[in-house]
Amino acid sequence: MLSLLLNQTLFLLLCAGLLLIARQKYALSRQVLAGLLMGAGLGALFQFFYSPDDPTLQTSLAWINIVGSGYIRLLKLVIMPLVLVSILGAMVRMHNTRSLGKISLYTLGTLLTTTAIAAMIAVFTSVTFGLNASTLLQGAQSEVSSLLPYVGKLEALDPPRLLVSFIPDNIFLDLTGARQTSVIGVVIFAMLIGFVVVSMAREKSPYAKPLIDGICALQDVIMRLVRLIMRLTPWGVMALMTRVVANTSLESLASLGGFMAAIYLAIGLMFLCHGLIVTVLGMNPLRYFGKIWPVLTLAFSSTSSAACLPLNIETQTHSLKVHPAIANFSASIGATAGMNGCAGIYPAMLATMVAVSVGISITPAWVITLCAVILVCSFGLAGVGGGGTFAALMVLSAMGLPLELVGLLIAIEPVVDMGRTALNVSGAILSGVVTNRLITMEDDSRVEGTAQVMSS
């Protein structure tokens, strides 16, 4: 009882420390970094003094998890209203439905391109490290039984059914997030309503202005709610990191150290690729990553791309000055499809390791086929829990490769998922930045062309 009280006291003292940091008016990124370090330190301290199944540790983490889980639940509370109202608000302000087609094309194009690059980096890293699935499986108990829920979902989600599931048939059900593709369903519904409202405005309907004013007012309310919840991010990150570090098994990490090093190297190389792209766009990569740091930290600690949606949109619109329509679309789609980490690096690395173990040569033709399969399967991750595992199963099945390795790696799934999710969110933000820059360049070229015609 005394140990439990001491643990809770330590956590409360760290919470008070974060409060003092917040009152000093430091930037959110610094507050989040402080929360991340405090949580990691407290989790390491717990792991040093307690065994993983110690009742005192688990009870302490259960109380601490009230802060972490409560924060995540608040984020999930605003996800669907935010997606619906933000896309609606962006469309009625845009008054140009042609731009929406370009936004969709550029956003999806960027997501798919970066996912393909991530897959190729994963193949290169796996071959360079000499990773072999048979080596990892030697002497290890493959947890194939833990794959059964995912295999059941995989069998039920063939491509025709997946495409049909994008179309919503009950928007109230989708607003609860009950379906695998609920977010995409809400996006489509919001776009349809937006088209109708914009058409009413063009036809000068007397109901158009009150509708637009109401949508804009509701969007303002939701964004204020999002900013209020965002203030709790440092405390949420600290609680989440405490739980993750305290529950991480050092034995499982040590036994799969080579794979862990390889996948985090691939993730790091992909972040460098993101930095190179923003450099080409004329942005300072250090400043860019400094601005998106709070989102990446939340993604790393929460392992949920969907939970990062509110902060993702807020960061794009306010810190990176991305147009609201683009920010909302890229964040929403990037949280459900074309994930650089879960759909690109992870399944590509596993497929390469398994292919080597069964004697398949890693030729350019095989790599191209793998990338094509990965791009198709990346659209099957919408709202599915354990997205990386599900993506790996889809890719391995499509390539005709055995699935046993996925069962073994479920043991280190939480640790791997932290880096994967951060990369997923970075890719979604990048797609918004690229789309915004491309559309801005097109608009600028039109203005210059008009000026030249007028001067001549």
Residue 319's domain is classified under what CATH number?
Answer: 1.10.3860.10
- The answer as to whether 242 is a domain residue is yes
The predicted-structure confidence for 15-61, as pLDDT tens digits, reads as follows: 999 999 988 878 777 888 888 889 889 988 998 888 877 888 889 99
The predicted-structure confidence for 335-365, as pLDDT tens digits, reads as follows: 777 789 888 998 899 889 888 887 888 888 8
- The answer as to whether 220 is a domain residue is yes
Q: Is the pLDDT of residue 453 over 70?
A: no
CB 95, CB 198: distance < 8 Å: yes
Residue 176: the pLDDT is 83
- The answer as to whether 368 is a domain residue is yes
Domain that holds residue 316: 2-445
Distant-in-sequence, close-in-space partners of 258: CB < 8 Å, separation ≥ 6: 129, 131
Residue 381: pLDDT band (50, 70, 90) is low
Residue 159: pLDDT band (50, 70, 90) is low
Which residue in the block uniquely carries the two structure tokens 């970066």?
A: 114
- The answer as to whether 310 is a domain residue is yes
CB 151, CB 282: distance < 8 Å: no
- Count: domains in the chain: 1
Residue 22: the pLDDT is 87
- The answer as to whether 455 is a domain residue is no
- The answer as to whether 451 is a domain residue is no
How many CB atoms are closer than 10 A to CB 41?
16
Tokens matching residue 397: 């099945």
- The answer as to whether 171 is a domain residue is yes
Q: In the chain, what is the straight-line distance between the N-terminal and C-terminal CA atoms, in Å? A: 85
- Which sign does the torsion angle of CA 216, 220, 222, 223 carry? positive
Q: Is the pLDDT of residue 434 over 60?
A: yes
- The answer as to whether 453 is a domain residue is no
Residue 17: the pLDDT is 92
pTM here?
Answer: 0.74
Please tell me the least confidently modeled range out of 246-255, 267-276, 297-306, 318-327.
246-255
